[in-house]
Structure 1
Amino acid sequence: MADDQRLWGYTEVAAHLGISVGAARSRGSRGSLPAPDDDSVPDRPRWKPATFKGWKPVGRGFRSDLHGTPAPSPLDSGAS
């Protein structure tokens, strides 16, 4: 199977996101990951690597400074 057709489990997703496998499972159970591309096996969702291309987690605990998303500048808020 070609690398672009290989499906990722929680281990590969965790490695890609830089989190633990437990954290990936937790995010999956909370619905904080993209919908799986293959959920034919109960409790073993699988994703295509392309599903995570351009996808960025949102919400509590997301470190945008580690993922190339610039933090808002205090000057951008319009406060004087």
Structure 2
Amino acid sequence: MADDQRLWGYPEVAAHLGISVGASRSCKSRGSLPSPDDDSVPDRPRWKPSTFQNWRPIGRGFRSDLHGSARPGDTSANRPAS
């Protein structure tokens, strides 16, 4: 690896995403994580922290309204459902 970034394994990815280690493994097996930056050791993928810098999970469970993607002045997310 050319740069000196410390690589993340499942525990670091899980901590960054706020999920369990088992859930991070499950996400990887479903293809819900970015491709590993280092997969030279079987069953031990590693990612650069920068890989997750602008990456956002897609699919069920990701609350985009909690992560700054709502438009300013949009109060529809704050209204109770009728």
TM-score computed with the length of structure 1 as normaliser: 0.78
Greater share of helix = 1
Q: For 1:19 and 1:65, how far apart are their aligned partners in 2?
A: 18
Structure 1 counterpart of 2:66: 66
Moved over 6 A (4+): none
Give, as a single letter, the amino acid of the residue that structure 2 aligns with 1:30. Answer: R
Structure 1 counterpart of 2:22: 22
Give the superposition deviation at 1:60.
1.2
**Aligned alpha-carbon RMSD (Å):** 1.8
Aligned sequence identity (%): 77
Structure 1 counterpart of 2:34: 34
| 1:1-16 correspondence to structure 2 within 5 Å | 5-16=5-16
TM-score computed with the length of structure 2 as normaliser: 0.76
Q: Which runs of 5+ in 2 are unaligned?
A: 77-82
Q: For 1:28 and 1:66, how far apart are their aligned partners in 2?
A: 23
Give the superposition deviation at 1:32.
0.4
Q: For 1:44 and 1:66, how far apart are their aligned partners in 2?
A: 31
| Partner-residue secondary structure (3-state), 1:15 | helix
Give the superposition deviation at 1:28.
0.4
* Number of residue equivalences: 71
Cα deviation, 1:14-47, whole Å, max 9, x if unaligned, reads: 1001111111110001110000000001111000
